[in-house]
Amino acid sequence: MRYFVTGASGWIGSAVTEELLAAGHDVVGLARSERSAAALRARGITVRAGSLDDPDGLAAAAAEADGVVHLAFNHDFGDYAAAGRTEHAAVRSMLDALAGSDRPFLLASGLAGLAGGRPATEGDSSPYRGPDSPRGGSENLALEYAARGVRTVAVRFAPTVHGTGDHGFVAVLTGIAREHGVAGYVGEGANRWPAVHRSDAARLVSRALTTAPAGSRLHAVAESGIPTRDIAAAIGDRLGLPTKSIGADDAAAHFGWMATFFGADLVATSERTRQLLDWEPTGPTLLADIAAGAYTVGRPGSSLTR
């Protein structure tokens, strides 16, 4: 099979494409820079030059593929509304190209806003609809196409997809801890974050692409909810820094744009996903990765070299 992958050179995408190549599939990767294109070619991936701002190009690439894995997103927190509108247009263009084909379209989504006061499950619908909503309401948009002959699958990734080389949220928190000399958490730190190792997330995507039924919502979650004070403590232990509670009124000054994310409670389960795909996470836990130096060894500004 020949799959078109957006975000193919990214943190999750590079692991997903390795899974697809190992399974014998051909992969076409979207690249918006020559640097990304060169990295994809070096791994045996066919390059499709372009970006999410080119819906016609995305539609053409989708039409030529046996399926699409859409992992890219423009994380422009300076104009998040515009990023959502771009996402909505990009997703719609690819889905229109696949309509009536019964080919798979796998979409990366998130866990925020699904449930209040209880763990989110795969049965919870996303509350976001329309191009002006978070991520352009792309999850609901995609799932609507299950009735239009596209095998759409929404994969909701844990807020931290961790491992050595991750430059996401936990890497940012580690940098903030270095900057302030303390590993902080918001308030009591009782709010929780789900997590999944990158290798487990990639296996889930590969299985979902070939076996998940149309309209599926899947949770790429290995650990349902780790208290943020435990995450902070693990970062502090690794850096040799104290751990400290940061009051809600001071969180924005301490954490910057990360304050809202690190203060959120995002517990989620993945029982249905595990049963549906026969998927069982086997990678290290988030705290084990932090302790092993996934966010400190070899990093700029780090005194740790082992």
All domains of the chain in start order, with CATH: 2-157 (3.40.50.720), 160-195+224-292 (3.90.25.10)
pLDDT of amino acid 303:
33
Q: For residue 158, with 0-12 CB atoms within 10 Å meaning exposed, 13-18 middle and 19 or more buried, which class applies?
A: buried
pLDDT of amino acid 116:
81
pLDDT of amino acid 120:
97
* Angle in degrees, 0-180, between the axes of helices 198-211 and 11-22, rounded to the nearest 10: 50
pLDDT of amino acid 299:
55
Average pLDDT for runs of 10 along the chain of length 306: 96 97 97 95 96 96 98 76 91 98 97 90 96 93 98 97 95 97 98 97 97 97 98 98 97 95 95 98 98 81 32
pLDDT of amino acid 81:
78
The tokens for 76 are 């422009």
The tokens for 19 are 């899974």
Q: Which pTM was predicted?
A: 0.93
Rounded distance, CA 204 to CA 21, Å?
A: 15
Phi, psi for 70 (deg, rounded to 5): -100, 100
The tokens for 20 are 């697809």
Element (H, E) at 55: helix 55-63
